[in-house]
Amino acid sequence: MVSHIRAVPLEKAYRLLNHGPTVLVSARHGGVQDVMAAAWACALDYDPPKLTVVLDSATRTRSLAEEAGVFVIQVPTAAQALLTHAVGTTSLHDDPDKLRNAGVKLFDMPDYDLPLVTGCSAWLACRLISEPSIESRYDLFIGEVFAAWADDRVFRDGHWMFETADPALRSLHYVAGGHFYAIGDAIDVSSR
């Protein structure tokens, strides 16, 4: 799988989130690492690319991201629906084996001290931009993307290829109660 990972130019990084997928948030600090699911993540700017993500104060991932000052937003695939639901409904506070029990395997990109989730379709390495007021009042965090990668079987040359890639690589879009939708058919209006 790692052989399919390619760097994404920063000016195209917003496209990894533009279609509104549910994401996984991961962070590592002091030898502890955690992964959570977040449906409330969104692009915020193009250049430099920024994003917003809502991180509940009860999550260990949030405190790890605050301590480390960096975190990863990654786009899970349809094949990872069960994993995504599992990391979104259990806490490292309650289950020290959360990641193993959820089937999460982490890997590092060379030169980056960040926990990336194996099997996702895209990864955005983010630096936390400190905004204490909105963090405390809304649990709303802003990250600046300083590196991005994608699986070139489903995102290449700056474009998602959901219409031709393996359906198992489609992005997930969570509603509630364990109910997701995969992304669907392409609709192109540019040539009309």
Site residues, a copy of itself (CB under 8 A): 15, 18-22, 39-45, 50, 52, 54, 78, 81-82, 85, 131, 133-134, 138, 140, 142, 158-160, 162, 170, 172-192
Looking at the Cβ atoms of 114 and 117, the one nearer to a copy of itself is: 117
Cis preceding linkage at 48, omega within 30: yes
CB of 15 to a copy of itself, least distance (A): 6
Q: 41: closest CA among 50, 33, 32, 29?
A: 50
Distance, in Å, from the CA atom of 145 to the CA atom of 83, rounded to the nearest integer, reads 24
Using CA atoms, how far residue 37 sits from 6, 47, 50, 127, 165, in Å, is 23, 26, 19, 18, 24
Q: Output the smallest distance, CB 8 to a copy of itself, in A.
A: 13
1 versus 186: smaller Cβ distance to a copy of itself: 186
Q: How far is the CB of 137 from a copy of itself (least distance, A)?
A: 9
User: Minimum CB separation from a copy of itself for residue 134, in Å?
Assistant: 6
